[in-house]
Structure 1
Amino acid sequence: MASTAHALHILVKHQNQAEDIVSQLKKGAKFQTLAKKYSTCPSGKKGGDLGEFKRGQMVPQFDKVCFNAEVLTPHIVKTRFGWHVVKVLYRT
C-alpha cells in the first residue's frame, strides 16, 4: 500500500467548470497550462503541482482519489474547498 503520492490539481468553484477542464485535457491541453489559467488554489501558479505528500495529509475525499484512483488520469473530486481536477503522477 502506497504511503505517499505526488499529484497536480486544479481547483474551481463549479462542477461544470471541472468537467470542461477534463474535456480540454482529453483533447490534448496541458494540465499545467490549465492550472495556471483556471485554478483558484495558490498551487495554480506552479501548474497545480502539490508535490509529494503523505496519506492522510489532504482532506479525506481528495486523499481517497490520490491513493486509490488510476494514476495519470484526470479525476474530479468535490471537497469543502470546491471541485478539483486531480492528476496523480505517482505513488510510493
Structure 2
Amino acid sequence: MARTAAALHILVKTEAKAQEIMEQLEKGKSFDHLAKRYSSCPSGRNGGDLGEFHQGAMVASFDKAVLSSAPLLKPYGPVKTKFGWHIIKVLYRR
C-alpha cells in the first residue's frame, strides 16, 4: 500500500446523489465543475482538490480506498464515510 497520495473528491449526503454525479462523469462532465457545484466539502471550491496527504490523515475507509484499491485518474465511488458519500479521483500514489 502507498504511503502518500493526492486526490480530488466530491462529498455529498446521499448515495443516490453520488450515483447521479458518477453518471454525469461517465457522460464526460468535468470533475472540477461537478465538485464546485455539488460538493459539501470546502475543497469543492478548488475542484475537490485535497492535495497530497499521508496514510492515516483521512478517515480509514477513505484512506484505504485512495491508498490501495483505487484506479488512478478514473473517478470511482461512491465510498461511504462518516461524513457522507465520496466520489474520488486519485491523481497519484507513492
Whether these two folds match at TM > 0.5 is yes
Aligned residues: 92
TM-score, normalised via structure 2 length: 0.94
Query: For the residues of structure 2 that align with 1:58 and 1:25, how far apart are their CA atoms?
Result: 24
Q: Which amino acid aligns with 2:93?
A: R
**Runs of 4+ more than 6 Å apart:** none
TM-score, normalised via structure 1 length: 0.96
Q: Deviations over 1:24-81 (max 9, x none)?
A: 1111111010000000000000000000000111000000110122111222200000
Query: For the residues of structure 1 that align with 2:65 and 2:74, how far apart are their CA atoms?
Result: 11
% identical equivalent positions: 60
Ranges in structure 2 where 5+ consecutive residues have no aligned partner: none
Query: For the residues of structure 1 that align with 2:88 and 2:54, how far apart are their CA atoms?
Result: 16
RMSD: 0.8
Query: For the residues of structure 1 that align with 2:85 and 2:19, how far apart are their CA atoms?
Result: 10
Alignment map for 1:1-92 (pairs within 5 Å): 1-68=1-68, 69-75=70-76, 76-92=78-94
Query: For the residues of structure 1 that align with 2:28 and 2:86, how far apart are their CA atoms?
Result: 19
Query: For the residues of structure 1 that align with 2:2 and 2:16, how far apart are their CA atoms?
Result: 31
Ranges in structure 1 where 5+ consecutive residues have no aligned partner: none
